Amino acid sequence: MGPNQISVLVPSSSDEAVAAFGDGTDVTVVAGGTIVMPEVAAGRLRPKSALLLGRAGLAGITRASGKVTIGAATPVSELAETDAPLAQAAAHVGDIEVRSQATVGGNVCAESSEDTPRGDLQAALLALGATVRSAGKGGERSEPLEDFLADGTGRLVLDVSYDDAPRQAGYAAVWRPHSHHYTILAVAAARRDGELRVAATGVAPRAVLIDPDDPLAGLEPRDDALASTWYRTQLLPRLVARALAQLEEAG
């Protein structure tokens, strides 16, 4: 294979995808491609090996054994049939064109760029206490999303899941309403069995769990083309208050 050639892997099952991914060395996963493909087109990313997930059987949402499980290749647009605050977060991702193409796994693995925040679903999934199942170095493993996000990337996400149980939830976000928009800042909250989890996206490179009594503790919100650190610092406590008010209203 020449230096400018890319090997394109198109697995037709999750087992094949896991085998093709191996330990992830030199493999670029392409799911919806809404982040990867512009990078390739601009020449900033030159994959040696591209693993296309579209036919790997990793899409779909199931409710079984007390869990909601969402395959990594599930389009963001299909999350409307999930639960608060995930369904609301999904509805705010880009526009219908982006949501139809973008996947859950791509969002969970997304890191914000210099210009724009990404990973809106991460905050909602953190609030839901979601678990990520992934494959790669050391084999398959399942771990809380916060551990996966802290550990970085380099693994193949197979699915995300959370308890299929009644809970109160709230979601508050700010964005500029136009086509192809990005969410500037968002807060997702969920309470179940007295445990309150609150998370924010648009603050740091990936979503973070926050203390609702002191939302800015240990955080200096990002500064980018959409909003300044000052603006986000003013906004975050207000969005937390809004999300929590919604959660209380929910019952």
3-state helix/strand/coil string of 79-113: HHHCCCCHHHHHHHCCCHHHHHHCEHHHHHHCCCC
Dist. CA 91–CA 130, nearest whole Å: 19
Comparing CB distances to ligand FAD, the nearer of 30 and 189 is 30
Comparing CB distances to ligand FAD, the nearer of 94 and 170 is 94
Shortest Cβ distance from residue 238 to ligand FAD (Å)? 19
Comparing CB distances to ligand FAD, the nearer of 53 and 68 is 53
Sheet holding 49-52, edge to edge: 7-9, 49-52, 27-30
Shortest Cβ distance from residue 98 to ligand FAD (Å)? 5
Comparing CB distances to ligand FAD, the nearer of 40 and 250 is 40
Shortest Cβ distance from residue 72 to ligand FAD (Å)? 4
- Read off the tokens for 41: 């087109």
- Which residue's CB comes closest to ligand FAD? 106
Binding site for ligand FAD (CB under 6 A): 28-36, 53, 72, 76, 93-94, 98, 102-103, 105-107, 109-110, 118-120, 156-157, 180, 182-183
Comparing CB distances to ligand FAD, the nearer of 93 and 198 is 93
Q: State the virtual CA torsion across 89, 90, 95, 100 in degrees, nearest 10.
A: 170
CA distances from 135 to 48, 161, 174 (A): 20, 15, 34
Provide the β-strand partners of residue 170: 189
Dist. CA 61–CA 78, nearest whole Å: 8
- Helix (H) or strand (E) holding 126, with range, is helix 120-127
Comparing CB distances to ligand FAD, the nearer of 135 and 168 is 135
Shortest Cβ distance from residue 214 to ligand FAD (Å)? 25
Which of 203-236 are b and which e, b meaning 16 or more Cβ less than 10 Å from the residue's Cβ? bbebbbebebeebbeebebbebebbeeeebbebb
Dist. CA 126–CA 227, nearest whole Å: 23
Question: Phi, psi (5° rounding) for residue 244?
Answer: -70, -35
Say which residue the tokens 């990594």 belong to: 72
Shortest Cβ distance from residue 123 to ligand FAD (Å)? 9
Comparing CB distances to ligand FAD, the nearer of 123 and 247 is 123
